[in-house]
Structure 1
Amino acid sequence: MMTITPEAITQIQISAQQSQAQGLPLRIAAERKADGHFHYQMGFDDAQQVGDVLLELDEVSVIIDADSAPLLQGAWLDFVDIEGQMEFVFMNPNDPHYRPPQA
């Protein structure tokens, strides 16, 4: 389905603890906007719906809704330093604006 890096998993666990959401799965959603770019949303959610995909990753559960699943197929979620600021970053080859990182 999608890959979540160890750095992102660690930050998800920290975020769950800080927001008192331990034990709740992280819901990840993707939406294609009118101009073609992708918009991503994340939040802790315990309401699993019919058609949701549930991923169990290193003590972190992730829910992806049925509409988002095809858009996130093969995507990566990472937690990286961008100009001194730590941020979650989606690397998604399904997004027409995606450019792979340069070595």
Structure 2
Amino acid sequence: MIEISDAAVAQIKEMLSQQETPNMFLRLGVQPGGCSGFSYGMGFDDVESEEDVYLEVADLKVVVDKESLKYLNGLEIDYEASGMSGGFSIHNPNAVATCGCGSSFRTKDDAGQPAEAGEC
């Protein structure tokens, strides 16, 4: 299950309304890399594949590839619009370590593996 706060849903819907391509949805995923092991991916898309799982979260279409889903179960996304430091924040209960900027993480299962070279 993925949770998205009301503030984040409102911001995502506002951003989606500004897209020129119809039928866009929120795509979430993870990729190897970053200073802690995995990096989050969050953006808009309009193409699904057989490797995707469709979720309805707070009346918002969210698509996650099957491989990423195991790392994102229980994920919480929030949004705060406050000055220059505002924006989306992610809380992942699967993460046992995160980098200082919060854009990459490591899970218990991959804690013994070296992180790939990358930047926060």
Q: How high is the TM-score relative to the length of structure 1?
A: 0.78
Structure 2 distance, partners of 1:89, 1:21, is 26
Structure 2, unmatched stretches of 5+, are: 99-120
Percent of aligned pairs with the same amino acid: 30
In structure 2, the CA distance between the partners of 1:47 and 1:40, relative to structure 1 (3 Å rule), is same
SS in 1 for 2:88: strand
Give the equivalent residue in structure 2 for 1:16: 16
Q: How many residues align?
A: 98
Structure 1 distance, partners of 2:13, 2:56, is 13
1:20-99 alignment, distance < 5 Å: 20-21=20-21, 23-33=23-33, 36-81=36-81, 84-97=84-97
Give the equivalent residue in structure 1 for 2:114: none
Give the equivalent residue in structure 2 for 1:101: none
Q: In terms of Rg, which structure is larger?
A: 2
Between Structure 1 and Structure 2, the one with more helix by share is 2
SS in 1 for 2:66: coil
Q: How high is the TM-score relative to the length of structure 2?
A: 0.69
In structure 2, the CA distance between the partners of 1:47 and 1:75, relative to structure 1 (3 Å rule), is same
Larger displacement relative to structure 2 (7-16 or 34-43): 34-43
Structure 1, unmatched stretches of 5+, are: 99-103
Cα deviation, 1:14-66, whole Å, max 9, x if unaligned, reads 11122335531110112343754431111111111113111113332010111
SS in 1 for 2:86: strand
Larger displacement relative to structure 2 (66-75 or 39-48): 39-48
